[in-house]
Amino acid sequence: MSFATFAAVGLAAFSTMASGHLIMQNPVPFGVDSLNNSPLVDAKPGTAQSDFPCKQRPGVYDITAMNNVQVGKPNLISWEGSASHGGGTCQLAITTDLEPTANTTFKLIQTYEGNCPVVSSNGNTGTDDYTWSLPEGTPNGRLTFAWLWYNRIGNRELYMNCAPLDVTGGSDDTEFYDSLPNAYIVNMPTSECEIPETTNAEIPHPGQYLLKNPDASFAAASGPSCQASAAAMTEGVKGYKSATVENLAATHAPSSNYDSTGPATGAATQSAAPGTSSPAGDYGASSAPAYTSAAATPTSAPSQSGFVTVSSAAASSSSAPATTSAPPASTSQPSAQTTTRSTSAAASPSSSSSSGNTCEEQGALICSEDGESYGLCNFGSAIMQPVAPGTICSYGQIVRRPQTNDTPPGSVSCSEQGALVCSADGEFFGLCDFGSAVLRPVANGTTCSNGSIQGKRSVERRQAFKAYAFGTAGYCSLQALPLLLTPKLIVSMLAKDARPITDLEAYLSRSLALALLAFALLVILLTGAIPLTGGIEDNVKGTNADGLSKDPYAYPTLLVTTGYHALTAFYLYTQVTGRWTFGLGAGLIFSSILFCLGVWVTVFGSEKGRISKSTGADKRTSNFPFGNSESAKSKKKESKEDKKDEAKAERKRKSVARTSSWR
């Protein structure tokens, strides 16, 4: 044994003790809460000590999340953990048994011989993402998916995790399913059949869907029961096919992101054709039936990956040049196969060509404007492809397509896509999504108003300002109208003897009327009683302490106009005490009322209400006549409720992140 191999074995053993092994992350496995990262028990299946299959335990088949998979579409398989044990050989299998037992037969749909689940490693350096697809002919309905892994370095082990699948786009019979080989089960126990250490397991009957690294070292298992284990792979198989065909979705995808619980894009997978190029680290340019691929990578240099490209001759001649990039094309189940050697360059993600939409966030799901196509952001671009029937792409998710005139329960109809919709009472909100908005309660202390979520306190302040602003504007307009329309009447009322009105008196009367009207309009605008729009609003509006929009001139306008009403009321009071007239008396009453309302709004209804300097507590004890929700006691109660809601939401987010990490 070389020093490098010896060091790798030691490192693998140490890392195993330190960080554990691997758990399948995508597809989402059964019983996430009870699943651990250890291998299967080294015991014969069916015995009391064995936990084969799927790591038998209480809650082993609890469904955390259903993985919706469409036949022929690529999907991601990924893992949590760092102990990759130098890679090895992986098998992906399915069974129609919803709760498999030791007697269950698992059918192979993909085999990765060598460098799985990590492309290049002699130790525990984590895993790489791989992709897979269900071949044409896979039965529709509920299936159980299984990942089996024989590690290359470390103890002789078998890892196995299982996940529920809901399959669409496949067959209604089991003819193809029955032709698939059975999974290869060894190292169970190692005393009967064992794969040699530091070598990759070679599967005796891998079937049609095999990706093999010819540069890796392989060895057959040895032991008294190995021959029986190999024979079991074809037991009961009807029409077994050993001629290897390609599977486009079955690649190593170090820079791709696929959705394991729904149709996925082949953003970094290359076109399927004889001799097409393949990125470094991929298991060749592979093709799945009825799937079109992304753009091919350049072919200007010899391959550095050394992986075999096994191509289909169903649509093209086997003599096609190895440097030809294949355009996206739909392919069917091959009728003949040829084997060629990849001569493509080991292209980096940044150098590969792309005809997709541009994007920024790596791995983000990108939706088209009409929701009819989607793609995954892969180094600045996303290759778009149609969504599955009955679904639509919306806000970074593949969701059920709403039916015509279909407004789900708890929803309201709407027209503007993406608009925030408020209920009539402001207690519920939702986003308009293809004609309907699912309403949900607003957070404590907030309300939905005019297409935005606002603090209730902010809304109450605005209501107070509105009442004061419109009152002031109405009073000034009432004074302006007679000055503007009948200046002669005003002069006749003031003069002892009737006489014609001069031009100067008419000018001054109407100028005063216009000034009062302008003053009234400014009061309404500056206090926010009528919201500004467009660029004006952007220039003058800021945010208050709650992060909500506010009118920066409202408070100064309030102080100025309140002072105006105070001076007017005082002046009229001095005049009324000497002689009473209806005009002076009415003016005194209106000015006094508006002055008192202005003082109340300043003290109780504005942002600059009374705040305790020592404790910072909110001391506004009244909001009459606009409610009483701003007392210190009620705010303390609301704060406690907000903390409870935040804690509940955090627990829910953690649960969703743990069980549906693919999103």
Kindly report, residue by residue over 148-184, the tens digit of the pLDDT. 999 988 888 999 999 999 999 999 999 999 999 999 9
289 and 331 Cβ atoms separated by less than 8 Å: yes
Q: Give the residue, 81 or 227, on which the prediction is more confident.
A: 227
Q: What is the pLDDT of residues 419-465, one digit of tens each?
A: 888 888 778 888 887 777 877 777 776 778 777 777 655 566 667 77
Q: Give the residue, 12 or 231, on which the prediction is more confident.
A: 231
Residue 530 has pLDDT above 60, yes or no: yes
- The percent of residues in the chain predicted with pLDDT above 90, rounded, is 24
- The structure tokens listed for 36 are 């651990």
Q: Which residues pair with 141 in a beta bridge?
A: 167
**What mean pLDDT do residues 619-638 have?**
48
Residue 648 has pLDDT above 90, yes or no: no
Residue 275 has pLDDT above 50, yes or no: no
Residue 603, φ and ψ in degrees, nearest 5: -80, -45
Query: What is the bridge-based pairing of β-strands 381-382 and 357-358?
Result: antiparallel
Q: What is the pLDDT of residues 310-363, one digit of tens each?
A: 333 333 333 333 333 333 333 333 333 333 333 333 333 333 333 468 888 877
Q: Which residues pair with 542 in a beta bridge?
A: 550
Rg (CA), the chain: 37
The DSSP code sequence of 248-270 is TT-SB-TT----TTS----TTPP
Average pLDDT for the chain: 71
pLDDT score for 650: 66
- Amino acid at site 127: T
**What mean pLDDT do residues 586-603 have?**
85
Poorest-confidence range of 44-48, 280-284, 344-348, 373-377? 344-348
Residue 248 has pLDDT above 80, yes or no: no
436 and 411 Cβ atoms separated by less than 8 Å: yes
Residue 256 has pLDDT above 60, yes or no: no
pLDDT score for 480: 85
- The percent of residues in the chain predicted with pLDDT above 70, rounded, is 62
pLDDT score for 24: 93
**What mean pLDDT do residues 6-17 have?**
43
82 and 124 Cβ atoms separated by less than 8 Å: yes
Residue 233 has pLDDT above 70, yes or no: yes
- The structure tokens listed for 495 are 């003069």
- The structure tokens listed for 461 are 């302040």
239 and 121 Cβ atoms separated by less than 8 Å: no
56 and 160 Cβ atoms separated by less than 8 Å: no
Residue 615 has pLDDT above 70, yes or no: no
Pairwise CA distance, residues 378 & 84, whole Å? 25
**What mean pLDDT do residues 370-375 have?**
84
Host H or E run for residue 222: none
Pairwise CA distance, residues 77 & 206, whole Å? 19
pLDDT score for 483: 82
CA-CA distances (angstroms) from residue 158 to 13, 53, 421, 583, 618?
16, 11, 53, 99, 64
**What mean pLDDT do residues 45-55 have?**
94
316 and 273 Cβ atoms separated by less than 8 Å: yes
Pairwise CA distance, residues 249 & 503, whole Å? 91
**Tokens 């093709």 identify what position?**
287
Longest Cα–Cα distance of the chain, Å, equals 133
74 and 247 Cβ atoms separated by less than 8 Å: no
Poorest-confidence range of 125-129, 147-151, 260-264, 484-488? 260-264
Q: Give the residue, 273 or 199, on which the prediction is more confident.
A: 199
92 and 206 Cβ atoms separated by less than 8 Å: no
Residue 631: which residues within 8 A CB-CB, separation 6 or more? 618, 620, 621, 622
- The structure tokens listed for 143 are 């299936």
Residue 293 has pLDDT above 90, yes or no: no
**What mean pLDDT do residues 541-570 have?**
71
SS3 631: coil
Q: Give the residue, 462 or 267, on which the prediction is more confident.
A: 462
Residue 650, φ and ψ in degrees, nearest 5: -65, -40
pLDDT score for 285: 34
- The structure tokens listed for 658 are 């743990």
Residue 99 has pLDDT above 70, yes or no: yes
Residue 185 has pLDDT above 90, yes or no: yes
Give the CB-side neighbour count of residue 654, counting CA atoms within 13 A.
7
pLDDT score for 94: 97
**What mean pLDDT do residues 213-237 have?**
90
User: Where residue 30 falls among pLDDT bands split at 50, 70, 90?
Assistant: very high
**What mean pLDDT do residues 585-609 have?**
78
SS3 366: strand
Poorest-confidence range of 20-34, 113-127, 274-288, 353-367? 274-288
User: Where residue 612 falls among pLDDT bands split at 50, 70, 90?
Assistant: very low
Residue 491 has pLDDT above 60, yes or no: yes
Poorest-confidence range of 111-120, 222-231, 235-244, 649-658? 649-658
